[in-house]
Structure 1
Amino acid sequence: MRLLPFALALAPLFPPLALLAPLFLGHLRRLSPWALGLLGVYALSVLLPALGAPEPLAFPLALGRVLYVLGLVGAGVALYAGASSPTQALKPLGYGLFLLYITAFVATYLTFGDQAVQQRLMHPFHSPVGLGFMGAMGVLLAVYLRYPWPFRLLLGLLGGAVLLLSASRGGMLALLVGGAGGLLFRGRGLWALGLAGLVLFAASTLDTPISERFFQAHLSGREGLWLRAYEVYQAHPWTGVGPYVLGDYLKGTLFGECFLFPLLEARGLTCPDWLRPLGGLWSFAHNHLLQALGESGVGGA
C-alpha cells in the first residue's frame, strides 16, 4: 500500500497503470452494506445486458469492465484508509498532473516546433480533450487542496494554460461545474470560477483558430458518431452490443478504421496491421449517454 500514492502520481503519465485496479478489489470490504449494494446494482446493469448482446465477447469484456471499475473504487478506499484526510489522499495526483503538463508542452513543441502555437496541445498518451479535463482537474486540486503555496500557484496556472492551449470545451465546462459546486461546500469555488474566466478572457484576446474553439458551437463531426451510436442502440435497445464493442460499429465514421493518439499520428505513426482489428476498442461516441445505450441498452445506461 505504500506504493499506491506513488502509482496515483504516475497514473496521468502512464495510463496503463490503471489496469492494476483489480488488485484492490479486496478493499471493498471496508465499505458499508448500502455502498456494496449500490456497486452490486452497477455490476448487474453491465453484466445482465451483456448476456443477451449479439457480440460473442460481450460478456467477458463486461466482466472485465466490472472488475476494473470496482477495482478503481477499491483503490480509492485504500487511499482513503491510508491518509489522514480525503484531501490528503488526492495530493499525489497533483504532482503527477504537474509532470504531465510539462511533458505535454515539451512533446507538442518537439513535434510542431515554432508552429506549436497554431496546434492544440497534445500528449503521446492523451487526446487534447483529455488534456483539457486534466488541466481543469489540476486547477481544482490547486484550489481545494493545501499544497505548498509555490507549487499550488504553479499547478493552478499550468492547469489553466493546459486548458487554454488544449482548447477543450468539455474541460472548460468541467472547471465551471467544479467551481460552481465548490461554492456550495467551500468558498474557494470562486477562485476556480475566476481562473475559468481568466482562461476565457485570454482565449478571446488570442487571434488563433485554437482559442476560437471555446466560442464556437460546431460539433467537429461528432454528429456522425452520435447518429451511428443511436442506430446501434435502435437495433439492440435492450442489450446493446457489449462494452468496448461499440467502437467496431463506429469505425470509419469520423476517423479511420484504426487511429492512435493525435500526437503520434502527427509524427507519422499509424496503426500497425496487427493492431487494426482492435482499433474499435478505443473508439468512443463522444457522448456518454449514447455510448452507454449502444453498449448496454436501456438497462445499462
Structure 2
Amino acid sequence: MTTEMPLSFPRRVDLAHLPTPLQPLDRITEKFSTPHGGPRIWVKRDDLTETAMSGNKLRKLEFVAGEAMAQGCDTLITCGGVQSNHCRTTALVGARLGMRVQLILRGELDGLPDGNLLVDQLAGASTAFYPPREYFEDLTNLFTHWQAFYAERGHKAFCIPTGASDGLGIWGYIAGSEELLADCRDAGFIPEHIVCATGSGGTQAGLTLGCHLLGSEARVTGYAVCDNAAYFQRKVREDIRHWCRLSGNTVDESGLNIQVNADYIGPGYAVADEPVYRAIAEVASLEGLLLDPVYTGKAFYGLLQELHKGNYRDCKNLVFVHTGGQFGLFPHRENFPFLL
C-alpha cells in the first residue's frame, strides 16, 4: 500500500520511542471467541511511546511542539480535566524541552494530588483550576487570559486545544497509521478492523485519514468515552478539514469511513460502571495489559461486548490501539473492592 499523494510532514520533534510494539492477545482471543468464529485480537502498544506512559498524546505533541518551536514560543498552554492524560504529557514534554507549561484544568484539587495531577506538578507545570461550568462556557477566554499573562512577562505562548486534537495534532496518527499498517504487514496479515478509544477525536481522525491516504481498507472504529456518535462524526470531519487547510492537501470526504460506537460510555466521562473495572482486572490477569477506566478500559470493555455479540465474527484480524492513560487508573482504586 502506498499513499495516493506524496505527504510532506511538517516540523517534528522526536519525542516518542517508535515504532511501538504490535502484540497478539491470544488468551483474550481464545476466551472471547464464539462458536461462529471471530478475529485474532492484536494490540498496538502506543502506551509505550515513552517511559512515563505518555501514550497517544506524545505522537500528536511531536508535531505540536515542532510548530511551537518554529514560531519561537517558549511556553505551552493547554487544557483538560484534573486527571487529563494530555495535560500530563504536555507537562512532561515541556520539562523535556525546557518550555514553561500552563494547564487550564476542569475541576478542583480534592486532597493530595494523585495520578496525572501529581505528575503535572512533579514536571513543574503551573495549574489553574476552574469549575466545570466556567471551564466549558469560558474556555476560549481562559486561553486568551493566560496567553496575555505570559506575554506581559516577556514569554510567547503556544495554545494547544483539548487532546491536541486538531489539524496539526492529526499528523501524529497519520504517521501512526503508516507505522501500524507496516507492523501488520511484517506480522503477515492485513487488519480488517482498527479500534481505539475516542475522547477528543484526534486519534480517530488521524487513523481514519491515515488509512484513507494509504489505501487501506481497514475500518477504523472509535469507541466513544463521552458525548455521542454524532459529535465524533462531526469532530473527526472538522479535524480532517482543518488538516486540509493547514497542509494544502485535499481529501474526498465521501470516501471517509467514520465509524463511532457510543454504546459503552456508561454514566459519563471519567465515570465507569463495575463491568468496566472487572474487564480491566480480567485483561490485566490474562495478558498483563494495564488499561484505564476513562479511555482504554471503556473501549476494550465495549470491544469485548461486541465480540460476545458476534459482531466481528467475519473478521480475521483486529487491532486495538492502546492509547495509554495508566496513571488515571490509580485515582479509581476504590472501584476495585472485588479484588480484596
State whether TM-score is above 0.5. no
Rg bigger for which structure? 1
Q: Specify which structure has the higher proportion of strand.
A: 2
TM-score (norm 2): 0.32
Q: Specify which structure has the higher proportion of helix.
A: 1
Ranked by relative contact order (alpha carbons within 8 Å, sequence separation 6 or more), the top structure is 2
